[in-house]
Structure 1
Amino acid sequence: MSQDADEINLTPQELQILSELDSRQFGFLKLNEAEHAKKKELVLKAIKYLERMLIQAQEEKELRKELGNGEEPPPTTINIDPKTYCKLGHFHLLLEDYAKAMSAYQKFFKLKQDHWKDPCFLYGQGLVYFHYNAFQW
């Protein structure tokens, strides 16, 4: 059995640690340094978990589209909260993967009408824009 086929489980302690991570730690929490190796491993595990969940939701959406209105949809329905994309953006930002962070932040921006009320999102997106020199004065 391949590692990708393995179930990813996050403990309550791991979820607590992950819940405290956002764009505000950028520059302070350097996940690419040896002293934060365990936290980096946890963030990579969370990214893998979230991306797998997003893929499953997309596959389910495509299946429903194929079935049309005539047949029963799958019994389990995965609803993705827009904040999932924001959290994914934070994780990628902390790993200094700016392209993936930008992608996740843009998806959140499109899905969340009141995105401007989320200061961590605005800060993270601003850091990514700054990295790419994509800002106007």
Structure 2
Amino acid sequence: MEKMAQETDDINLTPQELQILSELDSRQFGFLKLNSTEQSKKKALVVRAIKYLERMLVQAQNEKQRRKADSTKGSFDESKNDEEENGISIDPKTYCKLGHFHLLLEDFSKAMSAYQKFYALKGDYWKDASFLYGQGLVYFHFNAFQW
């Protein structure tokens, strides 16, 4: 567990890089060509951001499982909510952002996975236009749509 936390901390993003990443979403698909040589710096930044987010999600999941295992060994106080007790909560927008990053890198299967996780977690997903656009692009890529 310590190693994973250390690896996550090794990826440092400056405030300027975070600003650049915050402005990226599915609406840049087709306009921002991250696989071109002119965009190699931005592509490297997006790849670093993906690694950071994925490590963070894995770390949170491992921590959640560890706490759940510890709680089954300990007391059997059923009055506490699982999420409340574990204190682990991943913002669904994290999955949406991960989907956008994968879409911009044209990794459609990983984008689909991230978008589906967002869809499952976010009850009002239909209010997020960039999610709907990104999800639609991924469906179109896989020819998974009906007229």
TM above 0.5: yes
- Structure 2 residue runs of 5 or longer lacking an equivalent are 1-5, 76-85
Aligned counterpart for 1:91 among listed residues 101, 109, 130: 101
SS in 2 for 1:57: helix
Instruction: Kindly provide the amino acid, as one letter, of the partner of residue 59 in structure 2.
Output: Q
Q: CA deviation at 1:79?
A: 2.5
Q: How does 1:27-106 map to 2 (within 5 A)?
A: 27-68=30-71, 70=74, 77-106=87-116
Q: CA deviation at 1:62?
A: 0.5
- 1:108 is aligned to 118
Q: Which structure has the larger Rg? A: 2
- 1:15 is aligned to 18
Q: CA deviation at 1:78?
A: 4.4
- Structure 1 residue runs of 5 or longer lacking an equivalent are none
Distance, in Å, in 2 between the alignment partners of 1:126 and 1:45 is 25
Distance, in Å, in 1 between the alignment partners of 2:87 and 2:126 is 29
Larger helix proportion of the pair: 2
Distance, in Å, in 1 between the alignment partners of 2:42 and 2:30 is 15
Asked whether the equivalents of residues 60 and 77 of structure 1 are also in contact (C-alpha less than 8 Å), the reply is no
TM-score, normalising length from structure 1? 0.90
Distance, in Å, in 2 between the alignment partners of 1:127 and 1:83 is 18
SS in 1 for 2:10: coil
Distance, in Å, in 2 between the alignment partners of 1:90 and 1:119 is 12
Indicate the RMSD between aligned Cα atoms, in angstroms: 1.8
Q: Percent identity?
A: 76
How many equivalent pairs are there? 131
SS in 2 for 1:68: helix
Provide runs of 4+ in structure 1 moved above 2 Å.
76-79
Distance, in Å, in 2 between the alignment partners of 1:127 and 1:110 is 18
